[in-house]
C-alpha cells in the first residue's frame, strides 16, 4: 500500500507533466478547473493517466468529484486500501 506522500508526489508529477507546469506551481489545493484551466478532455486524459499510474479504475461519477490534487490523493489512497 502506498503512503499518501508517495501518491501525492506521483499525482503532482503527472499534473505537472500533463499541463506543462513547474513543480513550484503544484500544491495540494491546486484546482484542475480553476487554477490550470483544464477542459473536460484534459481532465479525462489526466484521469486515464492516473488510472495507468496507480493500476486503478476511477469511475466517471467519482472522477467528476476530484477537483483538487488533495482530493485526488485522498481518493487514490482510500481506494487502494480496499483492494
Residues involved in catalysis: 39
Alpha helices in 1-83 (DSSP H): 4-19, 40-54, 60-63, 69-80
The Cβ-side half-sphere exposure at 64, using a 13 Å CA radius, reads 3
Distance CA 76, CA 50 (A): 9
CA 39 from centre of chain? 15
Amino acid at each position: 500500500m502506498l503512503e499518501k506522500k508517495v501518491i501525492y508526489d506521483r499525482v503532482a508529477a503527472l499534473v505537472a507533466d500533463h499541463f506543462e507546469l513547474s513543480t513550484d506551481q503544484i500544491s495540494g489545493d491546486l484546482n484542475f478547473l480553476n487554477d490550470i484551466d483544464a477542459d473536460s478532455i484534459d481532465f479525462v486524459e489526466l484521469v486515464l493517466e492516473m488510472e495507468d499510474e496507480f493500476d486503478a479504475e476511477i469511475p466517471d461519477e467519482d472522477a467528476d468529484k476530484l477537483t483538487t490534487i488533495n482530493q485526488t490523493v485522498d481518493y487514490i489512497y482510500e481506494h487502494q486500501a480496499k483492494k
